[in-house]
Homo-oligomer: A and B are copies of this chain.
């Protein structure tokens, strides 16, 4: 099911600048029991992204309404929102009057292995996952850092580096060898009871789930530090986990050949997140 500017159709004009230049933004949202989880936060981020790229934001009411027609009867699904700068002529110059294109689509929720424990949604959330370092680097660019734009060739190339189904995620470094994030997730680590994540001034996507985790940790007096760090620092961590809007929090039990235990702090943050989801 796809809605393009309010109409059910499955295609977009060739002249759309989303297709021509990746000139747009997107959001990936979990749907659970007929609700789009943290929809307000996703729309707020989309609005911030539109402001950064100078694309007129289609509006919270309109997007919420159109989204609801797609997800309201779904028990479990993924809602994707795309907003582009809309149709344009050949050439990078944007049209004088920008008429953004909005594309809302509903997708099957990925199938993750079940957990044997009722408190966890899937085995990855419970037991953790194995990840690898990617060779593909994230370029450095403050104009694009942080926002979830449609220029995603770096992630495409990074994700193409491995096919092993036992590796759930790849960790990406930037050109300066700083560890930034996963191909589809943000990355956190715990060391000496302090929570760390990469600063995203020059590369990376500031995930909605990342924002929630940082806010929850701050509320619970767990210190959170955004900074620049390298592989060695990550590999010497006490606990490591990734996050995104679909998976929530997955502990990492292995990076390459380095093993990690699923730690107490990770469990604590998972609990806070479950409580927060239940209260929202």
Please give, as numbers and ranges, the residues of chain B lying within 8 Å of A155 by CB-CB distance.
21, 92
Tell me which of B12, B80, B149, B184 contacts A92 (CB under 8 A). B184
Binary CB contact string for chain A from 147 to 161 against chain B (1 if under 8 A, 0 otherwise): 001111111111110
Please give, as numbers and ranges, the residues of chain B lying within 8 Å of A126 by CB-CB distance.
none
**Distance from A30 Cβ to chain B, minimum over Cβ atoms (Å):** 12
Q: Knowing A4-B14, A14-B4, A14-B105 are in contact, say whether A22-B140 is a contact too (CB < 8 A).
A: no
Residue A274 at the B interface, CB < 8 A?
A: no
Residue A44 at the B interface, CB < 8 A?
A: no
Number of copies: 2
Closest B-chain residue to A80, C-beta based?
A: B90
Q: Return 12 A-B CB contacts under 8 Å, by A number.
A: A11-B12, A11-B13, A14-B103, A17-B156, A19-B150, A20-B150, A89-B107, A92-B155, A92-B158, A137-B141, A139-B144, A175-B202
Residues of A whose CB lies within 8 Å of any CB of B are: 2, 4, 10-23, 26, 28, 53-54, 78, 80, 82, 85, 89-94, 103, 105, 107, 110, 136-144, 149-160, 175, 183-184, 202
The 8 closest A-B pairs by CB, nearest first: A22-B22, A139-B139, A139-B141, A151-B151, A21-B152, A92-B159, A11-B11, A92-B155
